[in-house]
Homo-oligomer: A and B are copies of this chain.
Amino acid sequence: MPVLVMKFGGTSVATLDRIKRAAKRVGVEVAKGYDVIVIVSAMSGKTNELVGWVNETSPLYDAREYDAVVSSGENVTAGLMALTMQEMDVPARSWQGWQVPLKTTSAHGAARIEEIPPDNINAKFGEGMRVAVVAGFQGVSPEGRITTLGRGGSDTTAVAFAAAFDAERCDIYTDVDGVYTTDPRVAPKARKLEKIAFEEMLELASLGAKVLQTRSVELAMRYNVRLRVLSSFEEQSDNAGTLVCAEEEIVENNVVSGVAYSRDEAKMTLISVADRPGIAANIFTALSEGGVLVDMIVQNISEEGRTDMTFSCPTDQVARAEAAMAKAKEDGIVNFAELIADVEVAKVSVVGIGMRSHTGVAAKMFQCLSADGINIKVITTSEIKISVLIERKYMELAVQALHDAFELDKAA
């Protein structure tokens, strides 16, 4: 029988009633003829409680014990979900990570999945079991200890299972009903996308449209796992939610698929840096060692052997960046006149696979912003997105204007 993976997040299994509601959704797919692998998170709030206890007990905790403690919430949900399915007369059982076994690296707290042998679960499917409920977020290390995959790891668990079992699709049930062209709180005309390409989803996710964990989308793209994002709080038709899939599966699409934004950006400019080979490497090595997450990087026009170097980072890392640069100057690694921090900026991006084959997107974007009197401070581009830094007070205006300009409220 074809296999379907269904993942339910913490809010979707927060109470016994919600577990029952989720189980009914699973029952619908079983009735269609699927063998279903259900991935569950901990009941919402439970993992935070456990993390709180660990932090209070041991601020610099042993990550192996952290994993042993915080993984327990998913085990509870898995057992309760299996029991709920059984009450509906659907043959089901629960699996903890080590029972599958979901093999991971030993990087406790942020382990990577290495292998999911499908034999044990397939044997049970062969015996008539219809639903395997698997505790998400956890695995087992080569040393036989429990590992966790890091926050949001249940999405990654779901995609990995879909790949290992060659599932027809991986449905991610969450508290939003899909992926939108932009944040509906900022642009009320935002429209739910029926389909979106993996690459676009990655750009939207890392730019702040936090529906799916980035790692899970990367994994889905690598193994071509069709992901569907949909709400567990609404009655679902067969085409509900948003399908995240390969570009080829999207027949018609707008040139631009979405507008993303990020509010807490800072623009940092190093004035009068010696313009010689290796200097950029020195700057960004110093920032990396200082723990600064650099996003955009722009090098301005050089003049008489000196140049200005601009980069952006989250506003809460400005102090760290300043300290790292001050130390680099003191150590004689980087020579510069001044470091100017502009913490009143935001990043706005337009994203779309269609940009690969259409010209004029950048021009249209800049014209649109200019028409509203919005000055662009920094520009960066990739194959499928264009990002700009602008004054933060214009952020909402920019998102709305771009959404209108690219007619994102209309389907292709």
Contact = CB atoms under 8 A, between A and B. Distances in A.
A206 to B, nearest CB: 32
A152 interface: no
B57 A84 contact: yes
Contacts of A68: 75, 78-79, 82, 94, 96
Interface string A42-76: 00000000100110111001101110110111011
A68 B84 CA distance: 14
Contacts of A380: none
A87 B53 CA distance: 14
Nearest to A144: B99
24 contacts: A16-B53, A50-B76, A53-B76, A53-B80, A57-B84, A57-B87, A58-B86, A58-B87, A62-B82, A62-B83, A64-B93, A65-B80, A65-B82, A65-B93, A68-B75, A68-B78, A68-B79, A69-B76, A69-B83, A72-B76, A75-B75, A96-B146, A98-B98, A99-B144
A263 interface: no
Nearest to A52: B16
Contacts of A78: 68
A302 to B, nearest CB: 54
Interface in A145-165: 145-146
A286 interface: no
Contact of A75 (B62, B72, B84, B87): B72
A61 B79 CA distance: 11
Given A58-B86, A69-B79, 5 more contacts: A62-B83, A68-B78, A68-B96, A71-B75, A72-B73
A383 to B, nearest CB: 45
Given A53-B16, A65-B93, A68-B96, A58 B76 contact: no
6 nearest CB pairs, A to B: A69-B79, A68-B79, A58-B83, A72-B72, A65-B79, A57-B83
Contact of A58 (B57, B84, B93, B145): B84
A113 interface: no
Nearest to A73: B72
A33 B64 CA distance: 26
Contacts of A94: 65, 68
Given A72-B76, A76-B72, A65 B83 contact: yes
